[in-house]
Structure 1
Amino acid sequence: RVVGSSGTSKENKFEKTYPTVVGYARDAIVDGVLPSQDKIFFGDDAVKFRSYLELKKPLSHGQVSDIAAAKGFFTYIRNQITQDTDNEVCVVLGVPSSTDEKAHDTLKNIATGIFDRMLLIPTPFLAALGFRDESKLNNSDYTDPIKHSLFVDIGAGSTDLCLIKGYYPKQEDQNNLRNAGDQIDSVFADSIQRQYPDTKLSITKVREIKEQCAYVGELQNGVMTKVLVNGKPKNIDVGSLVGNACNQYLSELINTTVQLVTRVHSDSVEQILQNIVICGGGSQISNIAPEVQRLLLEQGYEYPKVTTVGKNYQNLVALGAWKVARSTPSEKWQHL
């Protein structure tokens, strides 16, 4: 997702969240079905009119998967900010952990001619900056997320992990799992189809159900949701299905987390383990922080403490990007 922001040096204002999706009108659409003569729709409009569109994701597993869609989406975002070509528009892009130079070059090439300057920053680091409350830094009981923490950003296409040590992360401070919410959706959809073969749910509907019901830990039954089967409403129990899908993902997440923890110097590993923060859409999975903490204890780690960023997770990366943009001198930006 992309969140637009604006503000003065003393305030910030987050204007809108845009789903990162592009929709192309299907062939032979009857006039008047779509709200305009446009053949391409972006963000919320693409989601709203998805029945008449072929949806494309500019990103897959955190990497550019469709250059044309990505370029169109960048242009759309630029136009939401300003259509005046005389205005300089700078962009801070959150990139997956461990993104290589080739991926950086791809983003730079796509952004050229649309934006004027750019910065590429690992998404978990931006989330940590956004989560930081500068008004509390002098409080002795406040834990600064920029010092000795591990941020786990669970998105749609990838999970990005980053050790935060008070400075911009190096490559060895990052780890990436190319599975996340989309994988949960796929496993969950397959399970529903096997158990309830009469249902023909779109992946969008499966995602909506997951976002309402997702949890990790001991399997639960009796989690009912209403779906349409042959046009008729039917209540189905998705408790064990969504739980299995989420737990399968969680097993991979723990392995990836442990891999990163093993890189931490012994002098700071205790502090890191006591400040693990889960952000991104996956932070809203019920019971995820206690379950990650329990599984780390099972792995033999002493006194881990795992929390989530709360309900305001969508704005954190944008807020972190805004802070970076304000504090970065002109010569540090990449000119496009």
Structure 2
Amino acid sequence: MSELNQTEQTDEVLYMGIDLGTSRSVVSASNGIEASVLSFVGWPKDFVARRNLGKDILFGDEALEHRLALNLYRPLEGGVLREGTAQDEQAVAALIGHLIELGGGKGRQLRIAVGVPAECLRISKLAIKNAVGAYADKLMVVSEPFSVAYGIGALDNAMIIDIGAGTADFCIMHGAVPEDKDQRSLLSAGDAVDTHLYKLLSERIPEAALTLNMARQFKETYGFVGMTDKLVKVKLPVAGKMVTYNITDEVNRACTHILPPIIETTMDMIGSADPEYQERLRNNILLAGGCSQFRGLADYLTRAMEPFEPCRFSCVPEPLYAGARGALALAQDMPEEYFGKL
């Protein structure tokens, strides 16, 4: 690439959508680059760790793999941006900077839309703006379910349920930017599944060596609800030997554990909507987020709602990138006067 072309590329405005998630964060950029990373940031504990790792900071899977040698941070916990210590704030800023670099944004003029859990939007919006504002020329912060809805064009008579790690976020779309009353959050989601699965397995197989991270991996690989014809078998270390266990029942129970409040909140939000539009909402409920990938989830929820009011649940395509792509579309479409107001 010539020096002139490099300069022209650097000066070009780049639009980015960032889905800042409790468990995984994703970036989608107008240059066509998309990337995801687990929302972990780690700094070497001491000079030995720094020498061994050869890096000053690690992110995502790499940080998790070397967690014993790191001061490890997960900046978003329970769907809320952690604040209080300089290191927490530094971790948030570092994660955002890493996402921007992955998206090819280094040295560019950036206009960024950031999707965050609805609970985080209410509590920590200013802190998020401060963290992202260090990198972006123009910025807006929106809830994740709204960015999902915008990206797939579900802008009217639709309900988005984004079931992530820290929160399950609900958003009713009625043809305009959703207000606070159109959105709700539950603090029991994917992390609660991990914890419950870890508890169930620890009680049933106390002799096995098990960690919460292993339970998370089992959930992400095998998560399902309802009936299944596929047994979930995993190998766990027992006294230094690998032993195979059937954990089908435990995985099902753990994944189903978070669904009753989701069903109740769905009913409540539909019931509080304009009566003339409730039937349309019931037939257009879209599931997003990592837990939407549980096998059988949409069918399970549809059956669970039948005794009350028939509803139709379906999963958004490519849930991993749906939020970031919607945020990118918002950044590209948003009139100038809206940047900084949302």
TM category (shorter chain) comes to: 0.7 to 0.9
Q: Deviations over 1:192-211 (max 9, x none)?
A: 11111122222222111112
Instruction: Look up the SS of the partner of 2:177 in the other structure.
Output: coil
Q: How does 1:89-108 map to 2 (within 5 A)?
A: 89-97=110-118, 99=120, 101-108=122-129
Deviations 1:241-282 (A, max 9, x none): 111111211112112222211211110000000011111111
Q: What is the rounded CA distance, in whole Å, between the counterparts of 1:74 and 1:98 in structure 2? A: 19
CA deviations on 1:99-131 (whole Å, 9 max, x unpaired) are: 565421121222332333211111111112222
Asked if 1 retains the 8 angstrom alpha-carbon contact of 2:209 and 2:236, the reply is no
Residues 319-330 of structure 1: pairs in structure 2 closer than 5 A: 319-330=325-336
CA gap of 1:290–1:31, structure 2 versus 1, over 3 A, is closer
Report % sequence identity: 27
Correspondence for 2:337 = 331
Q: Is the Cα–Cα contact under 8 Å of residues 112 and 328 in structure 2 kept in the other structure?
A: no
- Residues 54, 256 of structure 1: CA spacing in aligned structure 2 closer, same or farther, 3 A cutoff? farther
Distance in 1 (alpha carbons) for counterparts of 2:92 and 2:228: 39
- How much has 1:218 moved relative to structure 2? 5.0
Q: Does 1:69 align with 2:91?
A: yes
Q: 1:100 to 1:226 in 2, by over 3 A?
A: closer
Q: Supply the distance in 2 between the matched residues of 1:46 and 1:99 (Cα, whole angstroms).
A: 24
What are structure 1's unaligned runs of at least 5 residues? Answer: 133-144
Q: Structure 1 256/317 Cα, relative in aligned 2: closer, same or farther at 3 Å?
A: same
What's 2:259 paired with? Answer: 250
Structure 2 CA distance, aligned partners of 1:182 and 1:242? 14
CA distance in 2, matches of 1:98, 1:64: 9
Taking only aligned residues, the RMSD between alpha carbons, in angstroms, comes to 2.2
Offset, 1:167: 1.3
Instruction: Identify the structure with the greater helix proportion.
Output: 2
**Structure-1 residue corresponding to 2:34:** 15
SS at match of 2:140: strand
The answer to whether 1:26 aligns with 2:45 is yes
Q: TM-score, normalised by structure 2?
A: 0.84
Q: Relative to 1, partners in 2 of residues 1:200 and 1:77: Cα closer, same or farther, differing over 3 Å?
A: same
Q: Distance in 2 between matches of 1:98 and 1:6?
A: 25
Is the 8 Å Cα contact of residues 121 and 142 (structure 2) preserved in structure 1? no
Checking the alignment, whether the CA contact within 8 Å between 1:78 and 1:115 is kept in structure 2 is no
> Once superposed, which parts of structure 1, at least 4 consecutive aligned residues long, lie more than 6 Å away?
none
Matching residue of 2:70: 53
Q: Does 1:120 align with 2:129?
A: no
Aligned to 2:184, the other structure's residue is in SS state strand
C-alpha distance in 1 between matches for 2:98 and 2:231: 43
Residue among 288, 291, 315 paired with 1:308: 315
Q: Secondary structure at the match of 2:253?
A: helix
Gaps of 5+ in 2: 1-23, 83-87
User: What SS does the aligned partner of 1:226 have?
Assistant: strand
> Which range is displaced more, 210-219 or 184-193?
210-219
TM-score between the two structures when normalised by the length of structure 1: 0.86
The counterpart of 2:158, out of the listed 126, 149, 159, is: 149
Deviations 1:135-180 (A, max 9, x none): xxxxxxxxxx222111110111111010011211111111110111
